[in-house]
Chains A and B, each alone.
Chain A
Amino acid sequence: MGSDTIWIIGSNMTRFGKHPDKDVVDLAAEASREALKDAGISLSEVGVLGVGNLMNAGAGIGQQLQKQIGQTGIPVFNVSNACATGATALRVAIMAVKAGETDVGMAVGVEKLAGAGLLGQRGPKPESETWQPSGRFGALSSTEGRIGTSIMPGVFAQVGMEYGHKYGGTSFELFAKISEKNHSHSTLNPLAAYQKRFTLEEIMNDVMIAYPNTRPMCSGNCDGAAAMIVVNDEKLKSLPLEVQKRAVKISASVLTSDPYVDGCQILPDVNTLTRNAASQAYEQAGIGPEDLDLVELHDCFATAELVHYDNLMLCEEGGAVDFFESGAPWRDGAKPVNVSGGLQSKGHPIAATGIANIHEIVMHLRGEAGDRQIEGARVGLAHVIGLGSACGVHILEKVA
Chain B
Amino acid sequence: MSEAQEKEITETGGKIAFVDYLILDDPPYLQAQECTSCGARYFDRRNACASCFKDQFRSVAIDQEGVVTSFSIVQMGPIPYVSAVVDCAGTSVKCTIMNVEPSPEYVTLGMQVKLMTYSMGEDSEGTEAIAFGFEPI
Contacts and interface: CB of A to CB of B under 8 A. Distances in A.
Interface in A122-156: 129-133, 136-141, 143, 145-149, 151, 153-155
Given A161-B70, A165-B69, A211-B104, A130 B76 contact: no
Nearest to B128: A131
A362 to B, nearest CB: 35
Contacts of A328: none
B97 to A, nearest CB: 9
Nearest to A265: B42
B5 A138 contact: yes
Contact of B74 (A136, A149, A164): A149
Contacts of B124: 129-130
Given A136-B45, A140-B16, A161 B94 contact: no
Interface-centre pick from B21, B68, B71, B132 (highest chain A CB count, 10 A): B71
Question: How large, as a class, is the contact surface on chain B?
Answer: 35 or more
Contacts of A138: 5, 19-20
Interface string B60-104: 000000001111111111010101110000101111100000001
A279 to B, nearest CB: 20
Contact of A151 (B40, B74, B79, B85): B74
A239 interface: no
Contacts of B45: 136
B19 A147 contact: yes
B123 A133 contact: no
A211 B80 CA distance: 10
Interface in B1-55: 1-2, 5, 16, 18-21, 40, 42-45, 50-51
Contacts of A166: 69
A263 B85 contact: yes
A389 to B, nearest CB: 13
A154 B129 contact: no
Interface in A265-282: 265-267
A147 B96 CA distance: 5
A161 B109 contact: yes
Given A151-B76, A208-B75, A131 B129 contact: yes
B20 A148 contact: no
A143 B19 contact: yes
A130 B90 CA distance: 36
Contacts of B131: 146
A399 interface: no
A172 to B, nearest CB: 7
A210 B124 CA distance: 35
B73 A210 contact: yes
Nearest to B85: A267
Interface of B: 1-2, 5, 16, 18-21, 40, 42-45, 50-51, 68-77, 79, 81, 83-85, 90, 92-96, 104, 109-110, 120, 123-125, 127, 129, 131-132
Interface of A: 118, 129-133, 136-141, 143, 145-149, 151, 153-155, 157-159, 161-162, 164-166, 172, 208-213, 260, 262-263, 265-267
Given A136-B45, A138-B20, A265-B43, 15 more contacts: A133-B20, A140-B129, A145-B96, A147-B94, A149-B74, A153-B74, A153-B76, A155-B72, A158-B71, A161-B70, A161-B72, A210-B75, A211-B72, A260-B50, A266-B85
